[in-house]
Structure 1
């Protein structure tokens, strides 16, 4: 069943964090037809080698974009949250070079490439907004490469927690310096290029240093400035229109 997502639309909020939309453009995005589905956790949405005819908008939940080595090891190269379209590149790249999986139960909206091409033709500024979004994703990838390649485990984790909090705040899913973060230590390990044991040790140290509080899936950052310093976190690479989200 195809529907338009007229209520809270995280895609619009996400795009507006990096690009100012007009009322007509907002309305066109709200009317974009999509097939809404609920997907259980730990389910692949698309796989490397697929040639999809639609892209996936995350409406709720967390996803991971990943690659698998020949030896079967997984490297997570991006976390997806509400408002993200993690496989938007499939609109122009015929064959996917990544896989996308759910980390939690997710509500997703599948949008056909035909509908996306149509809205981009009718609203060139929306096409520019999507282009800007993919450029920001590229900037995030570069920051992740630097994080994994050149920072120590403690600093890597601090940086990643800072980024996730800011991104969640942009789409209204974080209050001040508190958010739900249902990402497991194993998943963090796959993203940071370390072992699960090392992730546990680093989180314990961040707690002991008073930089974070973790209760179940609830993250609280009591000292934002010190966590940013520990992670060498500068939100400039997120290219936000309103820098309040990163404060």
Structure 2
């Protein structure tokens, strides 16, 4: 099967690794940054950042927007392997060709750094390699959790787990006084959970009936993250090593929102 080639980004700014605010907030240690190798790139929603089957290219730090890592089968079926939110670092496979593609779910801004610049170039820094190891370990932990969900959790548990995971991951990087918006369609949720879109819709309706989520103004709102985690049989504290602590929010917490899946009734 021939997979589609990625479309070029809308624009590529001059090299700015270490100067953009996102670089320092994600890498923490300025000494870990391979100076001059990172480039800020912007992609329109639906654009392909990397095609399935290509050799590894860049390490991506997502600054704004959402990305999807997905595997496409020869008959067109898709499995979304990972949902990338702002602040995440995507480290490509260092051997062989990637078994997944990377697509922008929304308009997105990334910092792209060649793998060699961060690993084998003279400017590579031990602290930078440590950052990459942590990112790879965190991504692997999430992959194991997702595999367990698809293999053993019920549809209700899968949907609840994905929503509560995105809630905590987004709150980690969100501005405290702003709501977290989750711009995922019902079809994207289905492809990430190994379910049909109809099944996802029905499950969301049961979660709403139980008072865990609500549809308001065409947006999905998480009402009780703790009960949602319990519905997913998910221990947030045990997952803290990869999920990350949820930072203090505003005096009146603002729950995350997402577009109401097509076909859902209010």
Normalising TM by the smaller chain, what interval? 0.7 to 0.9
- Unmatched 5+ residue regions in structure 1? 16-20
TM-score for both structures, normalised by structure 1: 0.83
Residue equivalent to 2:241: 239
Residue equivalent to 1:2: 15
Structure that is richer in helix per residue:
1
Residue equivalent to 1:164: 166
Matches within 5 A, 1:24-35: 25-26=29-30, 28-29=32-33, 31=35, 33-35=37-39
**Which stretch of the first structure deviates more once superposed, 210-219 or 104-113?**
210-219
Give SS of 2:38's match: strand
| Residues 126, 211 of structure 1: alpha-carbon distance in 2 compared, 3 angstrom cutoff | same
- 1:83 maps to 2:87: yes
Residue equivalent to 1:141: 143
Moved over 6 A (4+): none
**Which stretch of the first structure deviates more once superposed, 118-127 or 71-80?**
118-127
- 1:204 maps to 2:205: yes
Q: C-alpha distance in 2, partners of 1:156/1:95?
A: 29
Give SS of 1:205's match: helix
Aligned residues: 235
| Relative contact order, higher structure (CA 8 A, sep 6+) | 1
1:224 to partner: Cα distance:
1.9
TM-score for both structures, normalised by structure 2: 0.77
- Unmatched 5+ residue regions in structure 2? 1-13, 250-266
Q: C-alpha distance in 2, partners of 1:111/1:57?
A: 8
Give per-residue Cα distances to partners, 1:20-44, cap 9 Å, x unaligned: x5xxx23543956322222111121
Q: C-alpha distance in 2, partners of 1:209/1:103?
A: 29
Give per-residue Cα distances to partners, 1:64-118, cap 9 Å, x unaligned: 11111232200001001112232x134x224222111111111112112232126
RMSD of the TM alignment (CA)? Answer: 2.8
Q: C-alpha distance in 2, partners of 1:4/1:50?
A: 25
